[in-house]
Structure 1
Amino acid sequence: MQNTRYGFQSVVNRRAFLRKNAAGVGMAALATLLQEAEATDQQKASISGLHFPARAKRVIYLSQSGAPSQMDLFDYKPELKKYHKTELPDSIRRGQRLTGMTSGQKSFPIAASMFRFAQHGKSGIWMSELLPHTAKIADEICVVKSMFTEAINHDPAITFLQTGSIQAGRPSMGSWISYGLGSENRDLPTFVALTSGAGGQPLYDRLWGSGFLPTKHQGVKFRRSSDPVLFLANPPGIDQQARREMLDDLDALNRLSLEQKRDPEIATRIAQYELAFRMQASVPELADLSKETATTFELYGEQAKQPGTYAANCLLARRLAERGVRFIQLYHRGWDHHLNLPTKIKQLAKETDQATAALILDLKQRGMLDDTLVVWAGEFGRTVYCQGTLTATNYGRDHHPRCFSIWIAGGGMRPGMTYGQTDDFSYNITENPLPIHDLNATILHCLGIDHKKLTFKFQGRYYRLTDVHGDVVKPLLS
């Protein structure tokens, strides 16, 4: 028969005719399945966790891409000044592998941090002078000094941090949480990714990808502009009614295709077209910061008025969290300081410190910090020895997976504490080592998810974010 509306021909044989007319039953059943799927997502959003009561409803992950130097920010090592410019002892290195950037060095001179440290808050957490604003929230955060990872280079390390595997292609943490908990706001994505900063390591879309999970769970990347989502606005000459009619026609075609092929990705496509239509109203309101108060901009800093900056993304993260977005991932590039670290780390700290602290304070004053888990982390740490030439005012540091510092706050985490310790050279862990899988298991626990039960069958086996590893770190929990 000829379809004049879409301009294509369809040959209908007896089998196809019977299949299509076996009742509006097929289409009715399909509509029911789609409605049930949406209802399930809404139901998941309304319960307090999947496996036990949840402390957190959402996560804001502040990923510091490039790996900040722990001994210049959080891991205070005053004894290093005595050893400055001396050779790092072999007993400390223990034959551990090096990157190709320093494996050829003939010497490994110790570079003590040139920055002053002080204790802050009632908790007495040590912090560098580079973080004056973060110092003011010392009693709200838990600093972990004993993180370690399996990867020594950026791409596998940040992939491991975000997906639980050094191999590309696994679902990101945000996708797992979307899959496990569903949506709280049907007009916005469950998982949003925001990027800022220049230079440094590339950020691949797979870092917020859904891997083998249904693609409805992948993160939606917002652009660095006041129009954050491409192609969301209607093109010239198309009004809202015309767009609605076009989507209705497209929906009918997709449902016919779904009935024939039974491909779940077609159901995802139907749902995402509808989400995009609803986002035409929700996203412009979300991205419009003009109604924020002068006090808010004073808190986050002037850069918060510039779309695409780290400060603006922190403010946008709070707005997303207010509107029920489950997982908000911020990436800020530029922390890869192999050379000229003192100058570069000052700049990165200036770009991020105020807005980071402002986000915590803003969430707290709105009563949201208790059920919002905030994570600040890079993919690994930096070496105590200098990469390249060490001078009185300049040094660089190479990659160091053996120990690094992160902090976590809110959402069921114990505030105002330091967890784990490293040796006098911030090179090896001496107390409470914390692997990536344990961190991820603990984050899921705060959301009410048993990490061993959040699984998905793919290629004959059941996968999870923590693979076959992971233990909840109880001392971190409040």
Structure 2
Amino acid sequence: MEEDKTNSENPLKVNRRHFFSQLSVGIGSLALGSLLIPDLFKGGPKPLASQPLGIPHFAPKAKRVIYLFQSGAPSQLESFDYKPTLTKRMGEDLPESIRNGQRLTGMTAGQDKFPLMPSAAKFAQHGKSGAWVSEFFPHIAKISDEICIVRSMHTEAINHDPAITFFQTGSQQSGRPSMGSWMSYGLGSENQNLPSFVVLTSRGKGNSQGLYSKLWSSGFLDSKHQGVLLRSGKDPVLYLNDPDGISRSDKRHLLDHVSSLNKIHHVETGDDEIESRIAQYEMAYRMQMSVPDVMDIKKEPESIIKLYGEDSQVPGTYAANCLQARRLAENGVRFIQLYHQGWDQHGNLPNEMAGQAKDVDQASAALILDLKQRGMLEDTLVIWGGEFGRTNYCQGNFDPKNYGRDHHPRAFSIWMAGGGIKPGITYGETDEFGYNIVKNPVHINDFHATIMNNLGLDHEQLIYKYQGRRFRLTDVAGNVVKDILT
């Protein structure tokens, strides 16, 4: 047979192409990419830090992260940043001295006026901390002494896709590893039978922005660090179950033979991704037993169901995913990413945001209380927030009963809890219009640096060399926000 000329000239390139084309329909799909046992991959890339992979740079305060990402950007003015000035000056045009020529989206760039619009929700102070929380979030208000509200987040991105990509990967451009992948790369897994990085998604009743697998991609890191998307329903991971007529022992026998062939192929090509493929098949084999058990919430007592709400019994809801997140966390998953869609309120904000908030309020608070009663909150970092904020002026015509807010990257709010974060504090401050930050700004790079710090990682040391450049999650910036740490 005539030898494949392309293969003989550049076998590595062809084999890798073939590998990626086939992996998409492989066992468990690419979702099976996960860090297993660090010493199984002795031929893989090494970090450029002095510390070996799988070992923190210093003593961590958090072992794991649960990130409750509110996709679409909830308004800070209807949640955690109380601005009575907007009520007093309702309908007045936002002073140019405040806007100061800020870049606008195409949705409001053509407006001649920018009429100030007060919050659609009433605010009150709660807990010993006296935190201001809107009536849209009554359950979160009750745990205000457990959380740290950061009112001074800011970003450069003004549109959804680059903004959410920035939060998840540290860059507005696609292709970088996600935050969960960096944590998997730096710290490894606590459970050999489950992925170190898991993704859950849910959809609310509001206007939804798309979610893409690039948000949990491993980028240029080894594919074993990619997030595993767990679906609701009978099969949490596609292609994980064995076909009819294939027994557990048959699968073991098959994997052993495939592993032997892959090892021969690795010797011939020197492609380290082949070792990852072997490990992913092994992970799939173990996940067949571990995932169904972890995802079975029928074992939860009635008190827990009541805590999270009845929606927690409906697969695919935000409440069910919060409960699943706790189960995954207690089973050793390192980074658990929830995405809840529906926060893009460009119109009908008073009604739409109230419904969105109701979707997430009880379950978000329940997760904090549940972790605390199990003694897990102190070493689990929980984050709640979106990709940017919302304008203090209305989008389109001035109508107090039916209005929307446009994107606002200059100042917005998130909250964090547990895992080395000071409870019961509000950090940062915006001006009386809620438009500009006047105290303690926190950039996305700072946000990432702080999360890594609490996990025992120095964001300047966890580096990966790719195409001649030393990459890190925080790029070339970022400072740990020490004032919010315990």
TM-score calculated relative to the size of structure 2: 0.89
Structure 2 residue aligned with 1:309: 317
Residue 348 (structure 1) aligned with residue 346 (structure 2): no
| Paired residues, number | 445
State whether residues 53 and 185 of structure 2, in contact with CA within 8 Å, keep that contact through their aligned partners in structure 1. Answer: no
Code of the aligned partner of 2:220: F
1:68 to 63, 68, 74: 74
Which residue in the other structure is 2:347 paired with? Answer: 339
What is the distance in 2 between the residues matched to 1:35 and 1:180? Answer: 14
1:442 is the counterpart of 2:450: yes
Deviation of the 1:35 alpha carbon: 6.7
Superposed CA deviations along residues 18-38 of structure 1, whole A, max 9, x for unmatched, are xxxxxxxxxxxxxx9737579
Name the counterpart of 1:389. 397
Which amino acid counterpart does residue 471 of structure 1 have in structure 2?
Answer: N
> What amino acid maps onto 1:349 in structure 2?
A
Task: Describe how 1:351-430 pairs up with structure 2 within 5 A.
Answer: 351-430=359-438
Structure 1: give runs of 5+ residues left out of the alignment: 2-31
Secondary structure of 2:357's match?
Answer: helix
Q: Does 1:201 align with 2:213?
A: no
Q: Kindly report which structure 2 residues correspond to 1:4-403, keeping only aligned pairs within 5 A, or say none.
A: 34=40, 50-198=56-204, 199-403=207-411
What's 1:18 paired with?
Answer: none
In structure 2, do the counterparts of structure 1 residues 327 and 37 end up closer, same or farther at CA, with 3 Å as the change threshold?
farther
Contact map agreement 2:123 2:135 (CA 8 A) in 1: yes
Q: Match of 1:25?
A: none
- Percent identity of paired positions between Structure 1 and Structure 2: 62
Q: Corresponding residue for 1:431?
A: 439
Paired AA for residue 449 in structure 1: L
CA distance in 1, matches of 2:438, 2:142: 28
Which whole-Å CA distance do the structure 2 matches of 1:437 and 1:417 have between them?
Answer: 21
Question: Post-superposition shift, 1:316?
Answer: 0.3
Question: 1:137: Cα distance to partner?
Answer: 0.7
Contact 1:187–1:278 at 8 Å: present in 2 too?
Answer: yes
**Cα-to-partner distance string for 1:213-267 (whole Å, 9 max, x where unaligned):** 0000010001122421111111112111111111111111111111111111101
Secondary structure at 2:393's aligned position in 1? strand
The letter for the 1-side match of 2:462 is L
- Deviation of the 1:389 alpha carbon: 2.2
Secondary structure of residue in 2 paired with 1:139? coil
Give me the whole-angstrom Cα distance separating, in 2, the residues matched to 1:368 and 1:197.
Answer: 27
**Partner SS, residue 167 of structure 2:** helix
1:95 partner amino acid: G
How far apart, in 2, do the equivalents of 1:264 and 1:308 lie?
36
CA offset digits 1:426-476 (Å, max 9, x no partner) = 110010111000010000000000000000000001100001101111101
Classify the secondary structure of the residue corresponding to 1:143. Answer: strand
Tell me the distance in 1 between the aligned counterparts of 2:393 and 2:52.
Answer: 48
Contact 2:117 2:393 in 1 (8 A): yes
Q: Which runs of 5+ in 2 are unaligned?
A: 2-37
What residue identity is the alignment partner of 2:465? K
Taking the aligned partners of 2:259 and 2:336, their CA distance within structure 1 comes to 29
Match of 2:23 in 1: none
User: Partners in 1 of 2:214 and 2:41 — Cα distance?
Assistant: 29
CA-CA distance at 1:320 after TM superposition = 0.4
Cα distance in structure 2, aligned partners of 1:95 and 1:227: 51
Distance 1:154 1:46, change over 3 A: closer
| Kept in 1: contact 2:140–2:364 (CA 8 A) | yes
Residue 5 of structure 1: aligned partner:
none
Separation in structure 2 between the aligned mates of residue 356 and residue 425 of structure 1, nearest angstrom: 28
Q: How far has the Cα of 1:72 moved from its partner?
A: 0.6
SS at match of 1:76: coil
SS of match in other structure, 2:356: helix
Aligned mates of 1:149, 1:442 — CA distance in 2: 16
Paired residue secondary structure (2:283):
helix
**Structure 1, residues 26-76: CA drift from partner, whole Å, max 9, x if none?**
xxxxxx9737579x9xxx9998x5211100000000100000000110000
Hey, what's the Cα distance between the residues in 2 that align with 1:141 and 1:34? 39
What residue in structure 1 maps to residue 8 of structure 2?
Answer: none
**Other-structure match for 2:466:** 458
Deviation at 1:425, TM superposition (A): 1.0
Report the equivalent of 1:19.
none
- Aligned to 1:157, the other structure's residue is in SS state helix
Task: Provide the secondary structure at the position in 2 that maps to 1:338.
Answer: coil
Which 10-residue stretch deviates more, 183-192 or 227-236? 227-236
Largest Rg, 1 or 2:
1
After superposition, the C-alpha distances for 1:160-194 in whole angstroms (9 at most, x for unaligned) are: 00111001000000000000000100000000000
> Do 2:117 and 2:400's aligned partners in 1 also have CA atoms closer than 8 Å?
no
Could you tell me whether the CA contact under 8 Å between 1:369 and 1:411 is conserved in 2?
A: yes
Shift, 1:106, TM fit? 1.7
Shift, 1:82, TM fit: 1.1
How far 1:350 sits from its partner (Å)?
0.6
Q: Distance in 1 between matches of 2:293 and 2:246?
A: 21
- Whether the 8 Å contact between 2:170 and 2:473 is mirrored in structure 1 is yes
Q: Is this contact kept in 2: 1:65–1:334, CA < 8 A?
A: yes
Q: CA deviation at 1:114?
A: 2.4
Q: Measure, in 2, the Cα distance between the counterparts of 1:318 and 1:291.
A: 13
Q: Which runs of 4+ in 1 moved over 3 A?
A: 32-38, 44-47
1:73–1:130 CA contact under 8 A, matched in 2: yes
- Is the 8 Å Cα contact of residues 72 and 113 (structure 1) preserved in structure 2? yes
Q: Distance in 1 between matches of 2:147 and 2:234?
A: 31
| Pair 1:182–1:33, CA change in 2 (3 A) | closer
